[in-house]
Amino acid sequence: MIDANVLPRVLHGTSRRPLTLVQHEEAFASHERVTSIFDELEASGLTGRGGAAFPTARKVRLLREQHGRSKYVVVNAMEGEPASHKEVSLLASNPHLVLDGAEYLAAMIGAERIDVCVARDNPAAINHLNQAIHERERSTKREAQIQLHTPPKRYVAGEESALVHWLNDNESLPQYRSTRPTVLKIGRAPALVDNAETCANVGLIGRYGARWFRGLGTQQSPGTALVSVTGALAHPTVLEVALGTPLRMILAAASADSDPQALLLGGYGGSWLGAAHLDVAYDNEALNPLGAAVGAGVIVVLPRRGCGILETQRVVRWMANESARQCGPCAFGLPALSSDLAQLTRVMGDTTAAHQRLIERCDSIDGRGACHHPDGVVRLVRSALRVFGPDLDQHINRRPCAGSTSPTHYVPVPSLEREEELQWQ
Amino acid sequence: MAVRRRTGGFVLKVNPILCDGYGHCHELAPELVEMDEWGYPIIVSTPTPYTNLAALESARYAVRGCPRQALRIERVVDQTSPGA
C-alpha cells in the first residue's frame, strides 16, 4: 500500500530493475476494493499525460458508448519527444502498473485486446515489457490479450491517429479527421489510445480510488506527473512531481541551473517560458495564461549563456525534418520557418524581413495540418519571439548574442536523418 | 420548385493530406479560398450563411472542381445565421 500523499507513485520502487509481478502485487497491495472503477476514474479528474491533457474519463465514456464486436486499448509508450525519458523510466520501474491500467481500461470499455506500442529502437523498454507480458501470461487468467508492437521511432509516429494507422497498415502516418474528438478504429474495432503514464495512473485509481488519487496535486489538476528535466544540468533526470509544484522546486530537485534564461516546457511542440515565471506552479491552470502547458512533461533548462533563437532554430529544423510531408502547410511551412530563424542567427542575414516573414508564416500555417505537428512548431516559434524579445532585437539589428556563435548547445536535438532514410513502415 | 429554407451556415473543409495544391478551389471560389505562398488553400473559417447563394454555388463548384477530391461542404449547426 502506498500512502496517498507520498511520492513517488508511478515510479515507486527502483529504476534499476522493474518490479516483478509478485513484487508488484506486494508493493501496490490494496486493502479495499474499488466498487465502480469508471465512477472512480471520473471522480479522480485524471487527464491524459501524453500532452493534450484531455480528461481520461470522457475518452473512456466515448469508447464505452461505441458498439462493436471487439474493441482495443492501445497503450502509447512511443516517447517521440527527444527530450523526454519518462516512458523509459516508467517501464523500467513499474511495467505491471501500466499493464494493470490498460486492463482496467479494457474492462471499462469492453475491450478484448491490448496493444502496447514502444518505438523499435528502445530495446530496454521492449525487454521490460516482453518480460512483464510473459510473467502475466504464466500467472493467472487474463481477460484481455496483451500484445507488444514496435512502430518506427518518428516524432509523429506517437500521434494517436498515426499509431492506429500503423496498427492497421504498418504506416506511421497521421490521418485526417474531419471532426474531433473522433473514435479511431483498428479494422472495424474502436480503439482507446492512452499514454503509458495515464495508464499507470488508471492502475493506481483502480486499486486505491479517486480520493486517494486526489491526495496529491491541485483541485483542477489532481495527481502527479512525470517530468523529464534536461538542458543545463549535469545529469538529465526524470522526476515524479505533484501537479502544482512550483517550477523552482522542480529545478532544485533536478539540481539544475537555478538562474536560467528560460525553460522549454511541454516538448518540442511546446513553449518557452521566461525566467520571471519560475515561481509559477507546474500545472495547466497556472501555465496556460502564460502561453505554456505541462504537455508531455518536458522541461529543458536554457542557461543565460545560451541563445534562445538558435536553440529554437535547431529544434524547428529537426521538427521540419520529422514532418510526415503529407500536408502542404507542414511540408513547406516548417522548413520555411527554420530558414527564417536561421537568417536571424546570422550576422549578415536579412534579419528584418526574416522576422516579418516568421510572424506572417506562423499565422498562415497554424491549424492547417491533419495533425497538430505544425501547430506545435508554430507555438514554439511564437513563444520564442515573445520570450526572447530583447535578444531578438539584438539579432534583428545584426548584433547576434554570444550564445549564437558558441558551439555549445543545450536543447538535445537528435542528428538529422536524410529525408530518403526516414522510416515510416 | 419548393425552396427549402436552410438555417445556419456552412464552411468549406479541406483534407490537407489529399490536397496537393492544384489551386482550382481558389479559382472557383475566390470569396472562400485564399492561397498561401506555396499554393495551398487557406479557407475562410467563419461560417457562411446558406442564404448567401452565390457563395454556396462557388463552394459547390470548388468541391466538384477539386482534382484531388479533397474538399467538402460542412454544415455548422450551432450557428444561427442572420438570414434564418
Does residue B30 sit at the A interface (CB-CB below 8 Å)? no
Longest Cα–Cα distance of chain A, Å, equals: 69
Give the CATH number of domain A21-213. Answer: 3.40.50.11540
Instruction: Report the alpha-carbon distance of residue A126 to residue A277 in Å, rounded.
Output: 38
Q: Would you tell me which CATH number, out of the four given (3.40.630.30, 3.40.1130.10, 3.30.70.20, 1.10.10.10), belongs to the domain B9-76?
A: 3.30.70.20
Q: DSSP letter at A39? A: H
Looking at this protein, which amino acid is placed at residue A135?
E
Q: In chain B, which residues have their Cβ closer than 8 Å to the Cβ of A326?
A: 16-17
Q: How far does B40 lie from chain A, in Å, by closest CA?
A: 6
Contact B38 A370 (CB under 8 A): no
pTM: 0.93
CB A207 within 8 A of CB A34: yes
Q: Could you report the predicted ipTM of this complex, rounded to two decimals?
A: 0.87
Q: A14 pLDDT exceeds 80?
A: no
The 10s digit of each residue's pLDDT in A319-359 is 999 999 999 999 999 999 999 999 998 878 789 999 999 99
> Rounded to whole angstroms, how far apart are CA atoms A374 and A384?
15
Lookup: cell for A172: 506511421
> Where are the domain boundaries for CATH 3.40.50.11540 in chain A?
21-213
Helix (H, G, I), strand (E, B) or coil at A294: coil
Cα(A150)–Cα(A238) distance, integer angstroms: 23
The C-alpha of B9 sits at a distance from chain A's nearest C-alpha, in angstroms, of 17
CB A200 within 8 A of CB A94: yes
A→B interface, C-beta within 8 Å: 174-176, 178, 326-330, 332-333, 336, 361, 364, 368-370
Residues pairing with A191 in the sheet: A72, A184
Residues listed for chain B: 84
The C-alpha atoms of residue A350 and residue A300 are separated, in whole angstroms, by: 29
Q: Any idea which architecture A308-409 has in CATH?
A: Up-down Bundle (1.20)
Give the tens place of pLDDT for each residue, A357-406.
Answer: 999 999 999 999 999 999 999 999 999 999 999 889 989 988 888 888 88
Report the gap between the CA of A337 and the closest CA in chain B (Å).
13
Which among A244, A281, A276 has a CA at the least distance from the CA of A260?
A: A276
The answer to whether residues A233 and A255 touch, using CB atoms and an 8 Å cutoff, is yes
Q: How far apart are CA A368 and CA A388, in angstroms?
A: 26
Is the dihedral angle over the CA atoms A207, A209, A210, A211 positive or is it negative? Answer: negative
Domain residue spans of chain B: 9-76
For chain A, where do the domains classified as CATH 1.20.1440.230 start and end? 308-409
